[in-house]
Amino acid sequence: MAKLKGSIVFDIEKCKGCGVCVTACPTEVIAMASEVNSKGYNYAEAVNMDACTGCTNCAVVCPDGVITVYRVKI
């Protein structure tokens, strides 16, 4: 059966650490990093990329246009 597999890329410098993407992801791919970007925000990062289906939910709710999403059918 065809399965969707996704991958997300963050523009870390634009992230403000709001956490909205974390709650929008249905497969719990994203968490906040303990590191900060140059603005001092704990940025979002993928901690479970294997679970990403490329649904684009995180990117769609991100106010700062931080996330790029790729998807393949396998």
Partner 1 sequence: MADNISVKDIIKPENLVHKRSSVMTDNIMHYCPGCGHGTTHQILAEVIEEMGIQQETIGITPVGCSVLMYNYLDIDMQEAAHGRAPALATAIKRLLPEKYVFTYQGDGDLAAIGTAETIHSCNRGENILIIFINNGIYGMTGGQMAPTTLEGMKSSTTPYGRDVKLMGNPLKITDIVATLPGTYYVTRQSVHKPGNVRKTKKAIRKAFEYQKHNKGTCFIEVVSNCPSGWKMTPVESNKWMEENMFPFYPLGDFKVPEE
Both tokens assigned to 23: 């709650």
Per partner kind, with CB cut-offs from 5 to 8 A, the member of ligand SF4, partner 1, none near residue 11 is partner 1
Total residues at interface with ligand SF4 (CB under 6 A): 14
Q: Give yes or no for a contact between 73 and 26, defined as CB atoms under 8 angstroms apart.
A: no
20 touches ligand SF4 (CB under 6 A): yes
The SS3 assignment for 15 reads: coil
C-alpha 37/C-alpha 52 separation (Å) is 24
Per partner kind, with CB cut-offs from 5 to 8 A, the member of ligand SF4, partner 1, none near residue 44 is ligand SF4
Contact footprint for ligand SF4 (CB under 6 A):
10, 15-21, 43-44, 62, 64, 66-67
